[in-house]
Structure 1
Amino acid sequence: MDKLETMKAFLAVVEEGSFAKAAKKLNVSPQLVSKYISALEDKLHSRLLQRTTRKVSLTEAGTKYFLRCQQVILDIDEMEGELANLHQHVSGTLTISAPASFGVKHLPKLLVDFQKAFPDVKINLKLTDVKIDLVEEGIDIALRAGKLKSSSLIAKKIAPIKMVIFASPEYLEINGTPKTPQELHDHTYLSYSYSAESMLFSQFGEGVKELKLNEKLTVNNGDALVNAAIHGGGIAIQPIFIAGEALANGQLLPILQGFEPEPLGLYLVYANRQFLPRKVRVFIDFSSDYYGDTPYWDASYQ
């Protein structure tokens, strides 16, 4: 049985939510889709899907396989797309959504360089930290930072995102420097609206996981948190791509080094792989290796 066809059938079942809808999408019979999935589970010796009369859901093994399958199929499509689009003209308006801080600090150069390579592509950039519905908002492609949950969206990681914990020299002089995450409960914490910071330390044991933080300021933008920390407002956790400049010039000092959350990822996210417009395909290809395994913002901080 063809491995790629089996993987595509599995992806279709997950993305469509049922065997019947997956069969319709692939233009095959539901019986064939069921045969593909059964053969795949037998080969892997793992149950990938939980089946009920009302819905299909992923098991833990299925979630891991789904994410890897997405990347494999995406890489194959990209390779074919690069060859197919090598000499084709690219034009139109590309609508992109990106996190506000990253969009201001690090995205403009990529967009300018992209338009130098593809001058007939117009770009409509929308900056927001809210994870909006791409189809409903008419977004061709979004940049998202974090740990992505499995979904019908296609995601490609283009850069790692390292986190750093910091405060201003003045704040630390007055309030002392915490040596362990548990000591944060004695400090003022600057909180980012779209994350549960207390959970960022969960890898260091249950005592830390249940940490109660003194959150006196909550903001939905990373730059605002960094500026509040510079002015002595408290302790915060943010990506190096936001806080790196202030750390480099001494306005902020890193603390709790060795207790930083695990690195996140910067992803390109889009709604559908099938019949992907050339303007989206070439942007994915152009952006994939733009920042590299060690982005310049991390290299300059180190």
Structure 2
Amino acid sequence: MDRIDAMRAFVTVNAEGSFTRAAERLDTSPQLVSKYVSKLEDHLGVRLLNRTTRKVHLTEAGERYLQRAKQVLDDIDDMENQLGDLQSGARGLLRISAPVSFATGHMGKLLHDFQRAHPAVGIDLQLNDRKVDIVEEGFDVALRIGQLKSSSLIARRIAPVRLVSCASPDYLATHGTPARPEDLAGHRYLRYSLAETVGGRFLEDGLRGGESTLVGNNGDVLAQAAIAGAGIVVQPTFIVGRAIAEGRLRVVLADFEPEPLGLYAVYAHRQLLASKVRCFIDFLDGYFGDPPTWDEWSR
């Protein structure tokens, strides 16, 4: 008996609800499917299915065996899929979701370089700062920034994301340079409305009772406002790093830098991961350097 074929026959009978439909799916005869399942039961020494003239039902032993059998078959298919990838290479349309500011600033060259390495892969990039439902919305992979909570999704950390407080030299010359969070009273705070609470919480606490703030859901606009002298902003260095390096923004409260976040590649399944997805995630790993290119000003 080929145990793998027998296991696949058992799983298919359960999925299809009958030996006849399972045989059609497996492109074989109902008699052979029945023989495989019977041989598997004999080998295990337990009955896996209760058979009637109309339907089959899992026994208690069958229910327990089914889950492990599915996992074994998934692992085998995954292994064969990966080996096949070595021959066929990455191909097809890769659908990616990414944050607006990060993508506009740092993904153009990345995607160009990836497609030069994998010319058979097309890219459909959708920019959105909300957390998309990868499965429901049909994305292969999503890039996310934050401190990821546990979920059923698989995530690989791609790069660290520093948050810094900064303002223009003109603003600081006029309003003073805060040395501690308690010095922030009276300063203007340019707040990113979609930020996680870890980034900028101390600024919000320090600015209570101060002047009115500017609130927006786009970090690039808030950074431009800060460069123009509108106030103090807390933003990732992938947005403000160049302005800091060029002297258009100056870091303040460096000793009170918020807890760093991370850039993650998030995808739905580890098993049977398509070659195009695996190649893209592997390509991302280390692409931006350590420290990443947007932090070169701080070296």
TM over 0.5: yes
* Equivalent AA in structure 2 for residue 88 of structure 1: S
CA–CA separation in structure 2 for the residues paired with 1:110 and 1:24: 46
1:292 corresponds to 2:289: yes
Q: Deviations over 1:70-126 (max 9, x none)?
A: xxxxxxxx9998766333232111010111111011111111111001111110111
1:123-179 residue CA offsets vs partner (Å, 9 max, x unmatched): 011111111111222111011111111111111001111121100111111111111
How far, CA to CA, are the matches of 1:157 and 1:79 in structure 2?
24
Pairing 1:102–2:85 present: no
For residues 182 and 277 of structure 1, do their structure 2 counterparts lie closer, same or farther at Cα, with a shift above 3 Å needed? Answer: same
Contact 2:163 2:237 survives alignment (8 Å): yes
Q: Is the 8 A contact 1:82 1:285 kept in 2?
A: no
Say if 1:211 and 1:222 are closer, same or farther in 2 by CA, change over 3 A.
Answer: same
Who is 2:155 aligned against? 155
The verdict on how the C-alpha distance between 1:119 and 1:149 changes in structure 2, with shifts beyond 3 A counting, is: same
How many residue pairs get aligned? The number is: 227
- CA distance in structure 2 between the aligned counterparts of 1:25 and 1:132, rounded to whole angstroms: 35
Q: Secondary structure at the match of 1:129?
A: coil
How far has the Cα of 1:210 moved from its partner? 4.8
Please, which of 67, 75, 78 is the counterpart of residue 27 of structure 1? 67
Alpha-carbon distance in 2 for matches of 1:82, 1:252 = 48
Q: 1:253-292 alignment to 2 at 5 Å?
A: 253-292=250-289
2:165 alignment partner in structure 1: 165
Give the conservation status (yes or no) of the 8 Å contact 1:201–1:259. no
What's the TM-score once normalised by structure 1's chain length? Answer: 0.68
**Structure 1: which 5+ runs fail to align?**
1-22, 30-77
Determine the structure 1 residue equivalent to 2:25. Answer: none
SS at match of 1:131: coil
- The amino acid of 1:104's aligned partner reads T
Q: Is the 8 A contact 1:90 1:121 kept in 2?
A: yes
178-187 or 226-235, larger mean C-alpha shift: 178-187
Partner of 1:127: 127
**Distance in 2 of aligned mates of 1:182 and 1:228:** 23
- Between the aligned partners of 1:189 and 1:98, the Cα distance in structure 2 is 26
CA distance in 2, matches of 1:172, 1:89: 54
Q: Secondary structure at the match of 1:200?
A: coil
Aligned to 2:125, the other structure's residue is in SS state strand
**2:183–2:206 Cα contact (<8 Å) kept:** no
- Aligned position for 1:10: none
Partner of residue 217, structure 1: 214
Give % identity.
51
The answer (yes or no) to whether the contact 2:142–2:266 under 8 Å persists in 1 is yes
Alignment of 1:234-245 (within 5 A): 234-245=231-242
Aligned mates of 2:298, 2:79 — CA distance in 1: 34
Give RMSD over aligned pairs.
2.7
Contact 1:181 1:201 in 2 (8 A): no
SS of structure 1 residue aligned to 2:265: strand
- C-alpha contact (below 8 Å) 2:163/2:199 kept by paired residues: no
Give the Cα–Cα distance (whole angstroms) in 2 for the partners of residues 90 and 268 of structure 1.
Answer: 18
In 1, the alpha carbon distance for the partners of 2:156 and 2:132 equals 18
Q: Which amino acid aligns with 2:108?
A: P
SS at match of 1:275: coil
Partners of 1:111 and 1:25 in 2: CA distance: 44
Q: 1:171 to 1:209 in 2, by over 3 A?
A: closer
- Residue 137 of structure 2 aligns with an amino acid whose one-letter code is E
- AA aligned to 2:199 is L
Give TM-score, length-normalised by structure 2.
0.69
Q: Which amino acid aligns with 1:27?
A: Q
Partners of 1:164 and 1:231 in 2: how far apart? 17
Show structure 1 runs of 4+ deviating over 6 A.
23-26, 78-83
SS in 1 for 2:213: strand
Deviation (angstroms), 1:299 = 2.0
The code of the aligned residue for 1:200 comes to G
Q: CA deviation at 1:294?
A: 1.2
Residue pair 2:166, 2:252 contacting (<8 A) in 1 also: yes
